[in-house]
Amino acid sequence: MPDPHGTRDCVVALDVGGTGMKGALLDRALTPLAVLRRPTPRRDGPDAVVAAITGALRDLAARAADRHLTVRHAGTVVPGTVDEEAGRAVYSANIGWSDLPLAALLRDATDLPVALGHDVRAGGLAECRTGAARGARDALFVPVGTGISAAVVCEGRMVRGLGYAGELGHTVVEPDGERCACGGRGCLETVASAAAIEAAYTARSGRAVDGAAGVARLVAQDDPVAVAVWDRAVDALAAALATFTTLLAPGVIVIGGGLSEAGGLLLDPLRARLGERLTFQRRPELVRAELGDEAGCLGAGILAWQAAAVEPVHRGAVTAGAAASGPGRRPVAGAAAP
């Protein structure tokens, strides 16, 4: 018998990262009913990654069937350049695919309706809907990790640019700087990404360090080399964010990714140096992301509910394509594994 309130309905949500996949069955309140985590076999090539995504979606659909849940839609978000409207994974250097009709491939392989999205834009959607930017109509979500990207929200709408919008990491901050993997020189990623911070510390000190987190610990101990590397990264981030602020006047900038785990060690000087660069501009609130590594999966779930033409219960400031209103929060944290 159909459930008139949809309480037995769910969506399949899957966030595919360069190293791991995070999946869940989410109800309309974005509460996890089952969760899944698996490695992403990117070293085995793009075909292996597609097969792993297919397997994860099938597994989650089977768990829904075991619980007598009806899957209304599936949402899958991936890194790189993604054309959401066309359902194509245009390019990903980390995974190795190019112009792949991924949504159609997944639909054919799983018999599930699949909405394809971009991992960072999905994370930004979740932070605007249920996280640190809820209630904001103009926002920037910046995960700083191995690379740097951004989700741009203007007047309640996610900016896509055919999949090319939000490449904050390739804003030039040092015109004569190091060569970037994109082919340019002096991009923000060459200075302020977690990988760049680690590499710069090792190059200057001659000592290996346990990632950017290791550099952060040394900054807290007033290690002079670590402080110099960290200051350079903060200055570069402030310069890029000042440019964005001048152009699009966000009300809030949300910093996420692994580097945000440094908390005030990053956010306090970044907030101050951004403020020093602004004169007449609207001054954004700069805050740490609330949803952590669950943001992409939650965003995939929101995309799936929207594709099913059913809005999640906890509405927020932005949808993937149109404005919404009202606060709410329902993180995945604390969910029990099935």
Q: How many CB atoms lie within 10 A of CB 39?
A: 11
Strands lying side by side in the sheet with 81-83: 81-83, 88-91, 98-100
State residue 335's pLDDT score: 33
Q: Which two tokens stand for residue 244?
A: 């964005």
Q: Classify residue 10 by its DSSP letter.
A: E
Total-model pTM? 0.85
Q: How many CB atoms lie within 10 A of CB 179?
A: 11
Confidence at residue 207, expressed as pLDDT on a 0 to 100 scale: 94
State mean pLDDT over 24-43. Answer: 95
Q: How confident is the model at residue 204 (pLDDT cuts 50, 70, 90)?
A: very high
Q: Is 62 exposed, middle or buried (0-12, 13-18, 19+ CB in 10 A)?
A: exposed
Q: Three-state SS for 222? A: coil
Structure tokens at 255: 């910093």
| 298 contacts 130 by C-beta, under 8 angstroms | yes
Mean per-residue pLDDT, 99-104: 96
β-partners of residue 318 are: 323
211-252 pLDDT, tens digit per residue, is 999 999 999 999 999 999 999 999 999 999 999 999 999 999
| Category of 138 on φ-ψ map: left (φ > 0), alpha (ψ -120 to 50) or beta | beta
Residue with tokens 């099935």: 338
Question: Are residues 41 and 26 in contact, defined by beta-carbon separation less than 8 angstroms?
Answer: no
How far, CA to CA in Å, does 265 sit from each of 36, 166, 184, 260?
Answer: 32, 25, 29, 9
Report whether pLDDT(176) > 70: yes
Rounded mean pLDDT, 167-185: 92
Q: Mean per-residue pLDDT for 199-204?
A: 96
